[in-house]
Amino acid sequence: MAGGAGTVDRVGVGDTHPGGALLPTRPDATAALVAIDYFTDPLCSWSWAFEPQWRRLRYEFGEQLTWHYRMGGLLADWETFSDPLNSVANPAQMGLQWHQVRALTGMPFDERIWREDPPASSYPAGLAFKAAELQGADRAERYLRRLREAVMLERRNIARQEVLLALAEELAAAAPRTGAFDAARFRRDLTGGEAMDAFREDLKEAHYRGIGRFPTLILRRVGGRGVMIVGYRPYAVLCEALAAVGPELAPVRRAEDAAGYVHHWGSATDQDVAEALGVSGAEAHGRTPP
């Protein structure tokens, strides 16, 4: 598997699919010291389980980091999909894997979707993210989180266009945090050539780098060397990788209470809060606002 110089890790637990220049797109990219390319997929259970660590990293290191999501294309269709490492080749086995990921990580899942209405592909959701990204990085960030919540927690089939459009409408109706989401534009972009070209470019980049397991992060000092982390990893490993490319970086803040942390993100699971505060999931459950 290809990676940058100084690779931290090349083997890890994560979701897989059958087997250029990295340009950060965050608004504060010019001030950042480390750029992160995050190869993921909206249907990836290990990427969902990794959300607490990923959120904590961005919260604590703030504007010293910039990041860009790359859609890796986890599930083109069930006829070609096979994940021998996790023993998954059909929807029923995917449900069992979600159950195992929940037990191992504490992140909530509702695996009943794989019995009731299994997604046929992750490509529609990946394309939808690229359509949302045309409205800006912050809006795309919110849309990606809603994609994950919808399928992992709410049993909504994100392979269906009507679900993708409904999520856009929900974001548009919600109180805006960083600008209103434009659902009408999203509908147009979802079937437009620009989003499709961007999605295909992400798939091409993942293939070129030999990335077939998610989450995969490439951390690179802006203008310098980089390291790669493959698979679900604890927070300490993220900090180790960050120190390898930016040894002078230090946290600029710490989460002090659940309410403030949840307010920062807009929504959070108990495990998000537990990771940020350094408490157990049970303790976080009593502190997380409803």
Phi, psi of 32 (to 5 degrees): -75, 150
Q: Does 215 lie in the same domain as 97?
A: yes
Q: Does 64 lie in the same domain as 203?
A: yes
Residue 148's domain spans which residues?
15-253
Q: Does 274 lie in the same domain as 215?
A: no
Q: Does 119 lie in the same domain as 245?
A: yes
Number of domains in the chain: 2
Cβ count within 10 A of residue 178 = 13
Q: How far apart are CA 114 and CA 78, in angstroms?
A: 12
In a domain, residue 10? The reply is no
Give 13's pLDDT tier (boundaries 50, 70, 90): low
Mean pLDDT of the chain: 89
pLDDT at 71 over 60: yes
Q: What is the pLDDT of residues 104-141, one digit of tens each?
A: 999 999 999 999 999 999 999 999 999 999 999 999 99
CA distances from 200 to 17, 56, 79, 82, 196 (A): 15, 30, 20, 21, 6
Q: Does 60 lie in the same domain as 169?
A: yes
Q: Does 277 lie in the same domain as 173?
A: no
- pTM for the model stands at 0.89
Q: Does 223 lie in the same domain as 111?
A: yes
